[in-house]
Amino acid sequence: MKKSRFTEEQIIGFIKQAEAGVPIKELCRKGGFSDATFYKWRAKFGGMDVPDAKRLRELEGENAKLKKLLAEAHLDMHALKSVLGVKR
């Protein structure tokens, strides 16, 4: 997945500015991102504070590690079944 050039703190700052009344078109132009990107960020980070976003990033990283471990375990099980043969 492509890494954003904006941090979670900056993204939440943009969302807070929009909530404060800054027009979204102007905010996007000054920030250098598209309207679609802003709405995607608002769907993901809307209503969050900076500590919440940091915790979300930690949980996503932990989830990725667990998925990798599970995939490796399934791969090992499949390899053992193919080597030892499964009774039919």
The predicted pLDDT at position 2 comes to 65
Whole-number Å distance between alpha carbons of 78 and 71: 11
82 within 8 A of 37, measured Cβ to Cβ = no
DSSP state at residue 33? -
Average pLDDT over residues 75-79: 91
Helix, strand and coil percent figures for the chain, each rounded to 5: 75, 0, 25
Q: What is the pLDDT of residues 1-44, one digit of tens each?
A: 567 789 989 999 999 999 999 999 999 999 999 999 999 999 99
- Residue 88 pLDDT level (bands cut at 50, 70, 90): low
- Please count the helices (runs of H) and the strands (runs of E) in the chain: 4, 0
User: Across the chain, which distance is largest between two alpha carbons, in Å?
Assistant: 68
